[in-house]
Amino acid sequence: MDCPGGGQVWVDKNIMYVSHMRPPDGTSIYDVSDPRHPRLLCRMDVPMGWHSHKVRAQDGLMVVNYEKFREGAPDFGGGLGIFDISNPSKPQLINKWQASSQGGGVHRFSFDGRYAYISPTADGYVGNIMKILDLANPAKPEEVSSWWIPGQHIAGGEEYLWDDFVMPRCHHPLRLGDRLYVSYWHHGFFILDISDMSRPKLVSSVNSSPAHPHPTHTAMPIPWLLKERNILLVADEDVAKLRPSAPAFSWIYDITDERQPMPISTFQVEGIDIDGRPQEMMTGCHQPSEKIFNNIVPYAWFAQGLRLVDISDPFRPKEVGFYEPDVPSGCARVSSNDVTMDERGIVYLLDRQHGLDIIECFPK
């Protein structure tokens, strides 16, 4: 289907939410009750200089990010937009939560219907940190807690430790039970204990940089056991390379002993790593679907489109299907940026340049 290129697609109760990459396009809402004929319900714009390229929706609330895009007009400000979508044709702004007075706003986040787990910039901190917001009263979001890598809080007197390396940057947190799995770009991933949500505690962390040149985009726990093990999918994003390299790939970690995450396998699309030679960015991995219903995980793999990866044996992940979209008009190749699925087994694949494909992968 024809739509501006986007950063995230989400489906809730047969309503599809598409967040766009470039202003003035913000968020589009579609009725996909008939997925062969999506029906546009609403399109929302954002000011030039900002983008709203991430979206989540649940229980009548839609949350979108606002992040500086090149030169953002300071009077708009970065943060989150919180909307009443009881009528998805007419979203109503409930509140705009401001991230900081001068920072870049919020990048990616997750939302469980009450709590938002976000990656904002914050006054007095270097780079993005992790923050939890309580949206029980969406008109008055309450900050539950913050967490950061020691050294980011320079206003608090912490010594900045990375003059010769990449600035720390929380990419986004994902929750499972009383744990939060926080990807942190070129600083790896962190497992946090949030049994007391007001006081996140570090359980463990792993950083593959700088030995591996790609940033950590996603750390996603599998909500069931595989071979009697707790499993974490870790996707490196094929951008912002520390040096020219072969395409990024996805890892599988055994976190049965969460104090010592252990990498047990990797997955790469066959044929794109040519003898380890450097290739252009956005050839390899971007991210898995953060909504899954079985052991076959849909991945958005940038120039390789959609890849379906069976992780039933986490020691030997294997591709069991793929879908390569048509190249958008005027583009050199596809750039599949995000993927999600719904309870009907339908997969939604969004290109960051232009267009979205709706694919039947798991017919009922």
Decide if pLDDT at 363 tops 80: no
Indicate whether 164 belongs to any domain: yes
Number of domains present in the structure of the chain: 1
* Mean pLDDT of the 274-302 span: 97
Q: Tell me the percentage of the chain whose pLDDT exceeds 90.
A: 95
Indicate whether 237 belongs to any domain: yes
Range of the domain at 345: 94-360
Indicate whether 89 belongs to any domain: no
Mean model confidence pLDDT for the chain? 96
Decide if pLDDT at 136 tops 70: yes
Indicate whether 190 belongs to any domain: yes
Instruction: Specify the CATH number for the domain of residue 201.
Output: 2.130.10.10
pLDDT digits (tens, 9 = 90+) for 53-79: 999 999 999 999 999 998 777 788 899
Indicate whether 180 belongs to any domain: yes
pLDDT digits (tens, 9 = 90+) for 86-95: 999 999 999 9
* Mean pLDDT of the 178-203 span: 98
Residue 73 is predicted with a pLDDT of 75
pLDDT digits (tens, 9 = 90+) for 217-266: 999 999 999 999 999 999 999 999 999 999 999 999 999 999 999 999 99
Indicate whether 36 belongs to any domain: no
Q: Tell me the percentage of the chain whose pLDDT exceeds 70.
A: 99
Decide if pLDDT at 306 tops 70: yes
Give the confidence band of 164 by pLDDT, cuts at 50, 70, 90. Answer: confident
pLDDT digits (tens, 9 = 90+) for 40-53: 999 999 999 999 99
Indicate whether 275 belongs to any domain: yes
Decide if pLDDT at 151 tops 90: yes
Cβ contacts of 163 within 8 Å, gap of 6 or more: none
Two tokens at 103?
């920072």
Asked whether the bond before 24 is cis by omega within 30 degrees of 0, the reply is yes
Decide if pLDDT at 364 tops 70: no
Indicate whether 42 belongs to any domain: no
